[in-house]
Structure formats: C-alpha cells, structure tokens
Structure 1
C-alpha cells in the first residue's frame, strides 16, 4: 500500500452525460492506473452546473481531496474559455466559481482547447483559486491528442515536486511533442 499516493481528477466535457460511452480519455486514464499506478477519478459533464457539481462533490464529499494533485480538464474552448453545451465560460468565471478551493492543485487542460493566457489572466486564475499552476497547450490539434504527453506530465508530477524541474524534464524527454503541441505552464 502506498502512503503518499496522488490522484488525478479528470472532468471531460461531453455533448450529453446521459449517453454512456467510454471515451479515449477514460481508456487512457485506466491505462495510466494500470501501467503507472496513478489513480484517477473520471467524471463527464455537459453543463457548467455539471462542472460545478462534480468539482463541488470532490471538494466537499471526497475525504481524499488533498491527495488530488491534478485537476485534468478535457473540454473544448478557446484561449481563455471553455465551451459546454454551446455556452462559453471564461477562465475568470471559472476561477470565481472555485475561489480559494483549488489550493496547491495543478489545473491541466488537454489539447481540446488552446490555453493562451496573458500573464495577468494566469496570475488572476492562480490568485483567485489558490491553484499551484495551470497548464495546457498553445495548439489545438484534432488529429493529434495530447494524451500521451499528458500521461508523461502526470507521471512527472507524481515523481517530482518542483514545477520547473517537471517542465524541464518534460521538454528534455519529449521535446518534439512539447514544441509541436506548444506545451505551456503558468505558475
């Protein structure tokens, strides 16, 4: 039994939560748990209320919340917003929803959306939520999923504590993919 186990909480935006499908993301999280012993909880949501409810349940009902190091968001959107059910929500709005509730967490976006924040936007998000870092990609590529780089990133987060060391190691071991997808981390 591992004493210091870290978990990933994954929230995937889907067109309809009532439709029960096993997504590529879920398959890869299962693979990550099997291969790398990194546990995760997966939830899907199709509205901002669903997002809020899922994160709220994690915050208030899950006694292991402190063990979740990464909040992994797989959602469409653009630069500084996400799109759920054809509605766009800015990261500022999301920060305000989770004010002070994400202390020490790394919020990581898959390349379903571009993450392009000014230093002010990133700092606002981090200050309001208390998150340790926010990461994602500068390029949204429908043909190439970021999941393999995401898994490597999660592994590094599990092994290393220093955020700069994590990013350096990620670039060192996966330089071409980091460059191609334009990996970004704001802290």
Structure 2
C-alpha cells in the first residue's frame, strides 16, 4: 500500500449561494482534516455565479504560481451529465475542457456528487485529449448522500507515483459500499 504523497496539492473550487458566507461551506472542514490526516496541501476558493467561476479559473490558470503543483482539482458544483450549473447558467464540460486546453497534464479533475458525471466514451475522451488530464472522476448518482467523505478518502489515497487503476482498486477495497452507492467512476 502507498502512503500519501506529502508533496501532493489539491485545488478546490466550490459553488456557494453567497461567497461572503464561506462558513456555509460543508467542504472546508473536510479539507482541513485532509491536510491534518494526510498532509495534503490544499487551496480553497468559492464562486457564486458564472462571472466569479470564470474569474477563479483565470486566476488559477494565469496568476496562481502554484498551478503546476496542483495534482488534484476538486470541483463542488451542482449539475448533471456534461455540465455544471451556476446561478441559472450552465457551463458544459466541453467549455471547461477548452478553458483548460493542454493545461491539465498529470492532473485529475474530480467532481463531487452534487453533479452527476454520466459521460459516454467519446465525451470523456474529448475532455482528456483536449486538457491532457491524467483522469476525470466523479459520480453517477446524486441521491442525497454526500460524496465528501469518499472524496476525502480518494484524495488521501492519491499518490502521483501510484497507477491510477491501483488507486481506484484500493478505493473500492476500502469503501466498496459508498463507491457503488454513489456510482464512483474514473475516466482515464
């Protein structure tokens, strides 16, 4: 078994109804535990509309000096299939892929189960090809059970030297019931 890589870094972007009330985030306490338990450095940012979403992505891509160090990108947004929803606006996975064009090499983009990730092979391959991502992951089921504890286990198990299939196998061995109930899926 691999020990977590203390050099791994995670960037989390979460949609909140009002970004001035970050205390309403249920994700932040889990990220704090992730740092304490696994030594995984993480950066948290929230957005409330399409403008703050796009602004956050621009800052991440063009101003954040640590962007190259983030191996895990964690998006907590409502949505389904191949889009996310922000303030009555939908942003497709294709649009996200184009914004990250060629910039996700050796990175995993993971969606919480607030958004169902139901993609066919062509859609997932397009995203991976355009972005250069190592993998895209998320859940097919959004039925009231939060994926956050399983997300944290996934991130805690992550090691950049670990084969992605071995990572998923270990996640399922340790969390089989949650993985199957939530429909964990990884495209690579």
TM-score (norm 2): 0.91
Query: Whole-Å Cα distance in 2 between the matches of residues 20 and 5 of structure 1?
Result: 26
Q: What is the distance in 1 between the residues matched to 2:130 and 2:160?
A: 27
**Separation in 2, partners of 1:89, 1:55:** 13
Q: CA RMSD in A?
A: 1.6
For structure 1, the residue ranges without an aligned partner over 5 or more in a row are none
User: Match for 1:18 among 6, 20, 23?
Assistant: 20
The number of residue pairs the alignment matches comes to 184
Q: How does 1:105-116 map to 2 (within 5 A)?
A: 105-116=107-118
Counterpart Cα distance in 1 of 2:173 and 2:151:
15
Match of residue 178 from structure 1: 179
How does 1:145-156 map onto structure 2 within 5 Å?
A: 145-156=146-157
Cα distance in structure 2, aligned partners of 1:137 and 1:182: 5
Q: How much has 1:99 moved relative to structure 2?
A: 1.3
Q: What do residues 137-187 of structure 1 show as CA deviations (whole Å, max 9, x unaligned)?
A: 010022x21111111100111375210010011111111111111100001
Which structure has more relative contact order (CA 8 Å, sep 6+)? It is 2
C-alpha distance in 1, partners of 2:22/2:140?
Answer: 30
- Segment of structure 1 superposing worse, 174-183 or 14-23: 14-23
2:127 counterpart SS class: helix
Counterpart in the other structure of 1:63: 65
What TM-score comes out, normalization by structure 1 length?
Answer: 0.92
Partner Cα separation in structure 2 for residue 145 and residue 178 of structure 1:
12
In structure 2, runs of 5+ residues without a counterpart are none
- Indicate the residue corresponding to 2:106 in structure 1: 104
